[in-house]
A and B are shown apart, each in its own frame.
Chain A
Amino acid sequence: MKHRFAAIILGAAALVVPALAQPSPFPLPSPVEKELAARAANVTEVTLGKGMLDFAAKFMDNNDKDQVAVKQLIEGLDGIYVRDYEFDKEGQYSMDQLEQLRQAFGAPEWTPMVHVRESKGGESTDVMMKMVNGEPHGIFVLDAEAKELTIVLILGPIRMDQLSELKGLSGLSKLGDIENDKHPKDKTDDKAKKEGTQ
């Protein structure tokens, strides 16, 4: 009888513990996130899991073409995560921290799509795409400006032609330009060169 009771307890624990121990779907290194938040003057964090996206999709008007497009896009997504840090002065985040953020997406399924560096101001933009069987299943945007750092992570199957529909959502304005940058490119000092020619 005791063994049976123990087996039931162990069985229940085996079911419950993995559920509780599930890692956060937001894969950014937590210490970096905390350090950035502690230094920033303004912090915006948006964390929309699948449940919340499904909930939000219910409020989209099926008679509105734009809203139907957004609904189709977000219904299939697993999550939308935005982190925006605004700083009072320059130099509040380090290159090492940026590298740690990029390394979080170093797995083979993540393909760098856009890589822009400006040596003059130290600004940079990275766009990485998660490809599963040739289809985009996630996008990561890291935009670093002198006094602002923006991170956008979208997980789940993404239709690139509908991605710009999300730019109206808080913190996702950076997505409006991604549709134009679908092809992989690597630019360094691009802006600086442009300035030099003018």
Chain B
Amino acid sequence: MNRHFWIPLACAVLCVLLTVPWWVVRAAGGGGGFDGVVNSIESRYHQHAMRIPFMGLASVVAGAATHGGVGGVHVAEFEHFSAPVDGEELNRMVEEKLGQGWERMIRETSRHGGEQTLIFSHPEGKRMGLFIVDLDGAELNVVQVSVDADRLNETILKYKHHDGDNESDGKGTSD
């Protein structure tokens, strides 16, 4: 009796203990980093973000395709974003959630139009973390990506030269 009663109860309590703090933090727009920023925007402007499905897989594929040039891709999209946005408040919120180490690189804000752009950077050794919040009309996108400039540039140049070869081949055949 005791065993049948206490084990399920202990499991239920454990589940509650594990999930409640997560919900409390989420409801308060708490936490930091990408999720912290997205949750804060959701709770402040009462909008729901669409997270791109299989983004983790896409990030791994992007990393493999660029030989590690691009990684840690996170994307959230707010469609039909109708809430009025105060640029100063949005900037403060994003800065607060990103925390120390992130420096704002670009800020474009218009008081009348629904256009806000914030780009933050964060040096990560050889890599550079970039965090972008872009509101254009009724669409707000939040993107985080980690870039290894050397590896990405190698990949870009590889494709550039490949395209160049194709173009020169094309010219050769047309002449």
Contact = CB atoms under 8 A, between A and B. Distances in A.
A70 interface: no
A47 B119 CA distance: 10
Interface string B94-107: 00000000011111
A9 B111 CA distance: 47
B110 A42 contact: yes
B149 A40 contact: no
A28 interface: no
B56 interface: no
Contacts of A55: 121, 128, 149
Contacts of B150: 58
B175 interface: no
A38 B128 CA distance: 31
Given A58-B149, A58-B150, A48 B107 contact: no
B41 to A, nearest CB: 20
Interface residues on B, range: 20 to 34
Interface in B70-112: 87-88, 103-112
Contacts of A43: 87, 107-110
A52 B149 contact: no
Contacts of A45: 104, 106-108
Contact of A41 (B106, B108, B110, B153): B110
Given A37-B88, A51-B123, A52-B121, A59 B107 contact: no
B103 A47 contact: yes
Contact of A47 (B104, B112, B157): B104
B103 A49 contact: yes
A104 interface: no
A46 B105 contact: yes
Contacts of B123: 51
A193 B126 CA distance: 55
A44 interface: yes
Nearest to A51: B123
Contacts of A47: 103-106
A58 B87 CA distance: 31
A110 B152 CA distance: 39
Contact of B111 (A40, A49, A170): A40
B153 A58 contact: yes
B149 A59 contact: yes
Given A51-B123, A58-B149, A59-B149, A42 B106 contact: no
Interface of B: 87-88, 103-112, 121, 123, 128, 149-150, 152-153, 156-157, 160
Interface of A: 37-38, 40-49, 51-52, 55, 58-59, 61, 170
Given A41-B111, A47-B106, A55-B128, 13 more contacts: A41-B110, A42-B111, A43-B108, A43-B110, A45-B104, A45-B106, A46-B105, A49-B103, A52-B121, A55-B149, A58-B149, A59-B152, A61-B160
24 contacts: A37-B88, A38-B88, A41-B111, A42-B109, A42-B110, A43-B87, A43-B107, A43-B109, A44-B108, A45-B104, A45-B106, A45-B108, A46-B105, A47-B103, A48-B105, A51-B121, A51-B128, A52-B105, A55-B149, A58-B149, A59-B149, A59-B153, A61-B160, A170-B106
